[in-house]
């Protein structure tokens, strides 16, 4: 969070309170809030209420607007810039939350009071600041600068105050919209305030990963629009009424699944990994036809890189630095995805007691083992030493080099899941976010190899996004993004199709948000 984005609404809130006559709180003074409101609104009294810990910030903020710290006429002539500079400084200073509140309330009131103040009051106020700065106590030392957020209590205070301000702006503008006799200009202004405040409120509540995913949706929408423009799809979509996916696909001579993917609308290197492949869609489909990629060797990603015929991994392995960034990005996204807490692995623990030498959970294509560790940590009695982490040898080499924590005790087995599964008869074969990298035919082959390795009571656990109808925007965006490397997200019918073709049957579906674990048994 940037401190300026937090502090400005804090001080604007104080300004609004001062304008309406709301009492100011006094964290840095022994004067009570009610007393301050009733009898201490003259300029020198207000200035004397500024907490001492805020004085160095007043001095630095004054310099930023080319004023002396004691010249309130000059300071308040640049009130917006002054408060914008003052807020971040005070929030990162030694001031306590109550003192921050006092500064937030008093600073705007000072500028309100200066407008009608007598010259003698202005002079007295300047003397208060000059005297205080000349006898600053140790707690008024210049605020420490740090690249990290302030203490949790201060951050929480700042966020909650900012949310309150934004919520009030929305509520007030909504009430104004309800009133009659509004001019078109006034209505537009109220709507603009609602939109801007709502956007700011949503921005404040989202995590960095969620912000990244918002960008991700925008990229994929642009790519889908570019493709539909090139295909002249909008010429056959009616302006009124509807057209089915099947009918549109027929008119465009394209796969139905491909059309629905584009309509429903992390990454590694954003431009090279996502944007270039997606914006090569028109040229790719012109060459290969309007069908889903037939194999992992003929994808938009390979086409855009001029390496048609190579898999994504074969391309990535050509550049160790790019490969490292891709793996780091994959680990980051995997760590943000729920393990799906509603699914219980207790049955694996029970099976472990019956077969002491049996592999328990095989994490197929498990990357750095984030999911495997999470499963073992939340399942008492599930021994990670009897669990297996499988992935390509280069991935496992990176795990060995950076291994820390429980994953060091897991068995690491090299695997190309397009080949025979080396671990036979495990209790559970867990595959998280692997199938969405591939088209249907290749997924059937991957699952069939697991089915061949299963014992009669083994289960295959598939963790993937499960598309709804219509899907969530981020799920739809992910669907288009996976198309760039020859993959796709799927709905339940899509998973039923590939599992049945592989000799498996979905026994149970456990959902958490847009993700799910599909428990499969032998058909």
* DSSP β-bridge partners for residue 522: 504
* DSSP β-bridge partners for residue 414: 391
| Counts for the chain of helices (H) and strands (E), in that order | 24, 7
Q: Are residues 361 and 390 in the same domain?
A: yes
Alpha-carbon gap, residue 522 to 459, rounded angstroms:
8
53 SS3 class: helix
- Judged against a pLDDT cut of 50, whether residue 205 lies above it is answered with yes
Which residue would you say has higher pLDDT here, 296 or 154?
296
Confidence of residue 156 (pLDDT cuts 50, 70, 90): low
> What percentage of the chain exceeds 70 in pLDDT?
79
Cβ neighbours for 347, distance < 8 A, ≥ 6 positions apart? 427
pLDDT value for 62: 84
Render pLDDT for 479-503 as a digit per residue (tens, 0 to 9): 888 888 899 999 999 999 999 999 9
Which residue would you say has higher pLDDT here, 24 or 359?
359
What does pLDDT average to over the chain? 78
Where a domain ends, among 121, 150, 179? 150
278 and 480 in contact (C-beta within 8 Å)?
Answer: yes
Render pLDDT for 128-150 as a digit per residue (tens, 0 to 9): 887 776 654 333 333 333 333 33
Q: Are residues 289 and 237 in the same domain?
A: yes
E strand or H helix at 81, and its extent?
helix 79-91
Mean pLDDT of 385-412: 90
Alpha-carbon gap, residue 25 to 51, rounded angstroms:
12
Alpha-carbon gap, residue 441 to 450, rounded angstroms:
15
- Judged against a pLDDT cut of 80, whether residue 29 lies above it is answered with no
Whether residue 406 lies inside any domain: the answer is yes
**Annotation-wise, does 71 bind a ligand?**
yes
Q: Are residues 222 and 364 in the same domain?
A: no
pLDDT value for 37: 37
Whether residue 204 lies inside any domain: the answer is no
Q: Are residues 81 and 35 in the same domain?
A: yes
Which residue would you say has higher pLDDT here, 114 or 388?
388
Whether residue 365 lies inside any domain: the answer is yes
* Mutual angle of helices 320-336 and 208-231, in 10-degree steps: 110
306 SS3 class: coil
Which residue would you say has higher pLDDT here, 442 or 62?
442
Mean pLDDT of 292-315: 88
Confidence of residue 159 (pLDDT cuts 50, 70, 90): low
Whether residue 193 lies inside any domain: the answer is no
E strand or H helix at 461, and its extent?
strand 459-465
What's the whole-model pTM score?
A: 0.55
**Which CATH number fits the domain that encloses residue 415?**
3.40.50.150
Mean pLDDT of 384-398: 92
- Judged against a pLDDT cut of 60, whether residue 12 lies above it is answered with no
Render pLDDT for 427-483 as a digit per residue (tens, 0 to 9): 999 999 999 999 999 999 999 999 999 999 999 999 999 998 888 777 888 888 888
pLDDT value for 474: 76
Mean pLDDT of 393-416: 89
Distances from the Cα of 360 to the Cαs of 66, 172, 249, 458, in angstroms?
Answer: 69, 58, 45, 10
Q: Based on the structure, what is the number of domains in the chain?
A: 3
Give residue 311's domain range. 211-316
Q: How far is residue 117 CA from its own chain's centroid? A: 49
Q: Are residues 336 and 256 in the same domain?
A: no
Alpha-carbon gap, residue 477 to 354, rounded angstroms:
45
Mean pLDDT of 269-282: 64
């Amino acid at each position: 969070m940037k401190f300026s984005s937090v502090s400005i609404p804090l001080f604007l809130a104080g300004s609004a309170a001062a304008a309406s006559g709301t009492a100011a709180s006094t964290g840095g003074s022994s004067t009570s809030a009610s007393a301050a409101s009733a009898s201490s609104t003259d300029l020198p009294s207000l200035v004397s209420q500024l907490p001492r810990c805020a004085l160095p910030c007043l001095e630095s903020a004054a310099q930023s607007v080319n004023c002396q710290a004691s010249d309130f006429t000059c300071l308040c002539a640049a009130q917006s810039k002054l408060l914008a500079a003052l807020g971040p400084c005070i929030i990162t200073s030694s001031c306590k939350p109550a003192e921050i509140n006092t500064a937030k309330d008093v600073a705007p009131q000072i500028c309100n009071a200066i407008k009608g103040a007598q010259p003698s009051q202005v002079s007295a106020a300047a003397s208060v600041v000059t005297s205080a700065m000349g006898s600053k106590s140790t707690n008024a030392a210049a605020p420490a600068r740090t690249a990290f957020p302030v203490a949790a209590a201060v951050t929480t205070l700042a966020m909650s105050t900012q949310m309150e301000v934004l919520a009030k702006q929305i509520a007030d503008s909504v009430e104004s919209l309800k009133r009659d006799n509004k001019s078109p200009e006034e209505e537009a202004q109220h709507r603009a305030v609602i939109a801007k405040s709502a956007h700011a409120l949503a921005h404040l509540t989202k995590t960095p990963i969620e912000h990244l995913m918002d960008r991700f949706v925008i990229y994929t929408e642009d790519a889908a629009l570019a493709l539909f423009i090139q295909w002249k799809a909008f010429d056959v979509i009616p302006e009124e009424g509807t057209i089915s996916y099947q009918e549109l696909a027929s008119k465009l001579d394209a796969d139905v699944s491909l059309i629905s993917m584009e309509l429903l609308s992390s990454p590694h290197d954003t431009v090279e990994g996502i944007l270039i492949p997606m914006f090569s869609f028109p040229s790719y489909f012109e060459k290969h036809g309007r069908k889903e990629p037939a194999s992992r060797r003929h994808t938009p990603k390979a086409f855009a890189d001029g390496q048609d015929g190579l898999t994504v991994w074969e391309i990535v392995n050509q550049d160790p630095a790019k490969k490292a960034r891709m793996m780091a990005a994959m680990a980051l996204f995997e760590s943000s995805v729920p393990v799906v807490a509603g699914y219980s692995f207790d049955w694996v623990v029970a099976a472990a007691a019956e077969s002491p030498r049996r592999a328990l959970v095989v994490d197929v294509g498990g990357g750095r083992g984030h999911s495997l560790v999470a499963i073992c940590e939340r399942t008492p009695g599930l021994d990670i030493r009897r669990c297996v982490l499988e992935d390509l040898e280069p991935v496992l080499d990176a795990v060995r080099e950076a291994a820390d924590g429980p994953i060091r005790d897991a068995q690491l087995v090299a695997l190309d899941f397009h080949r025979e599964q080396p671990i036979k008869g495990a209790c559970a074969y867990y595959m998280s976010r692997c199938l969405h990298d591939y088209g249907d035919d290749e997924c059937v082959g991957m699952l069939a190899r697991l089915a061949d390795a299963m014992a009669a009571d083994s289960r295959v656990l598939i963790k993937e996004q499960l598309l709804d109808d219509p899907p969530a925007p981020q799920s739809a965006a992910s669907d288009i993004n996976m198309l760039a490397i020859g993959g796709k997200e799927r709905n339940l019918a899509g998973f039923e199709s590939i599992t049945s073709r592989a000799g498996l049957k979905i026994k149970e579906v456990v959902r958490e948000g847009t993700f799910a674990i599909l428990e499969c048994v032998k058909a």
